[in-house]
A and B are shown apart, each in its own frame.
Chain A
Amino acid sequence: MTSNSVGAVQYRRLDNYVYRLTVGEHLLVALHARRDQPLYALTPTGAQLWERLAEWATVEELTDALVRDYEVSADDAKQDVRDFIDQLESLKAIEARGESV
């Protein structure tokens, strides 16, 4: 694992979404979106990653968290984290800093 690798991109959630667990759904509620899609449902693992993204975190650190808590291989977990980060970036729900190594 490369938890603190120099130059790795770090991500952190923005405050334009609010997370809520309600009626059994992990919801990401957009504060600025129009009617069309102001609500997103996260999987439980997505919700866990979102909570983790309250602080700056690298893909590796997020992957570590998944591997620690779920029975999943590091490769699968890393792919899932990358997919999740891509989704959040497309929603403009996170910001990034640092450079890819």
Chain B
Amino acid sequence: MTAIPRISANVLRMRMMERARRERIPMHADIEIIATCNFKCVHCYIAPCAEREDVMSLEQAEIIFDKLQAAGTQSVLLTGGEVLTHKQFKEIYLSAKRHGFSIYVNTNAYLIGTRWADFFAEWPPRGMSISLYGMNPESYERLTGIPKSYERVMRAIDLLLERGLSFDLKCPAMTITAEELPAMQAFAKSKGVRFRTDFSIIPQEKGNTVPLQLQLAPQDVMVLENKLDPGFKSFRTYASPRVDGSTTDSVYKCGAGKTSLHINVHGGVSTCSTSRKVVGNLFEQTFEEIWAALGGKVAMKYPVGHPCATCQFSRICAGCPATVEQLTGLPTGYVQMYCKMTHQRAYELGYHATGVPRTVMEGIPAHVVTPTRAAARMLPVLG
């Protein structure tokens, strides 16, 4: 008997993830503990709709922790809004620790001074993700709407690094950030941390489509992807096992609703943070009821004739059921902008002869739902 077998934490996590996939165990949960924020970002889909009362109390968080613990959840992401503006953040964080969860934290880092940095050094999260919004004070403040936000976030980054804490930096790729993204990537590299970006902008939670004005057009996405990942080298490695000629009519190909879930500030459960369509409420229903409802949702198939059902590039698609749901109202909708981005990627990688989706030539089947009129009005004009 070896009571503590010598096994790395990563191997252990992979072993657990394999079993979680097989048995559909909710290994990870995003928990939105506050919807309000101290930034006023123009692209945000949560905070502009938030009211002062959109805050999860410690007692409510603990109800959720207890239910997740019983369901087998291993890690939680505490997210917002801005989590550090939550008056009970420390209590909620430490309660999650004592429940035995590995904890991830999303923050804009504006409030991280010496005291918060010391707190995280004493009680380190498994991971932290910091939003970065520019590489100089002017661009930063133009996006966040908050004076001194650049200086304060830069100082927070140094305070965390001085204490040996690890984190990612991330910034959405938008018309107003595109130019500075390569500099942000270089900055992250100089600090020895990972940089991530995402090309999908979605409407605000209550339907306002204004953020979609910031969506980059497919041709601009390609130019930017090539700058950030010259020759699509990293993406090529990612795509290689995923583009094998096979197709699937399953809508959800990720772990959403299978090994993970999202819980909003009122206990509403959805597949992930991008999807705002809740299937149940953890304050009113059992976890089992909600997990079953989520299972039904993520088991859905595309209707016959849907372009995505026969697409061999669906596993490297620029969109996902959640972003499509936000733009069309249904996870089974169809967004030609994503299709164009994806086929362009496939062309750049040598998987596709022209990079032009079939729907450009043949049209979109009439029974397939496309972006709502309000969303379509804001999205970039497609070439």
Contact = CB atoms under 8 A, between A and B. Distances in A.
A83 B2 contact: yes
A31 B97 contact: yes
Nearest to A47: B3
Contact residues of A: prevailing secondary structure: mixed
A36 B2 CA distance: 21
B27 A38 contact: no
A83 B16 contact: no
A32 B27 CA distance: 21
A22 B4 contact: no
A68 interface: no
B100 A18 contact: yes
Nearest to B127: A35
A63 B126 CA distance: 35
B352 interface: no
B3 A39 contact: no
Contacts of B98: 18, 31
Interface stretch (B31-39, B45-53, B66-74, B180-188): B66-74
Contact of A40 (B4, B13, B122, B123): B4
Contacts of B2: 43, 83
Given A25-B16, A43-B1, A46-B4, 4 more contacts: A23-B16, A27-B12, A35-B166, A38-B102
Interface of A: 18-20, 22-25, 27-29, 31-43, 45-46, 49, 72, 80, 83-84, 87-88, 91
Interface of B: 1-5, 7-9, 12-13, 15-16, 19-20, 25, 27, 69, 72-74, 97-102, 122-124, 126-127, 164-166
A-B residue pairs, 8 tightest by C-beta: A46-B3, A84-B3, A20-B100, A18-B100, A23-B16, A39-B9, A80-B1, A29-B100
